[in-house]
Amino acid sequence: MHSHLVILVVFSALVATVFAMLLRDTTRQRLSFGVLAFAAFVVSTLVIGWLTNPFPR
């Protein structure tokens, strides 16, 4: 697993799953929270990565 993007997606999915199970009580709430947390992880990482691209050091 040497792709940064694949690692980001796997990490985000696993962490979002745990957060959803701990922070919400019904299946429906867990699903929507998990999808939202996953999207937030991936999108925020890509945005921050893009913003910091001009500053490599």
Partner 1 sequence: MPHDEAFATARDPARAVTASLLAWVWPGLGHVYLRRRGKALILMGAILALFVLGIFMNARLELHTGLEDPLALLFSVAQMGIGAPYFLARGLGFEAGVVTSPTYEYGNTFTAVGGLLNILVILDALDTARGRKP
Q: Which residues bind partner 1 (CB under 8 A)?
A: 1-2, 7, 10-11, 14-15, 17-18, 21-22, 25
Q: Which amino acid is at 13?
A: A
CB of 50 to partner 1, least distance (A): 20
Nearer to partner 1, 22 or 51 (CB): 22
Task: Give 24's contacts (C-beta < 8 A, 6+ positions apart).
Answer: 30, 33
CB of 44 to partner 1, least distance (A): 16
Task: Give 15's contacts (C-beta < 8 A, 6+ positions apart).
Answer: 37, 41
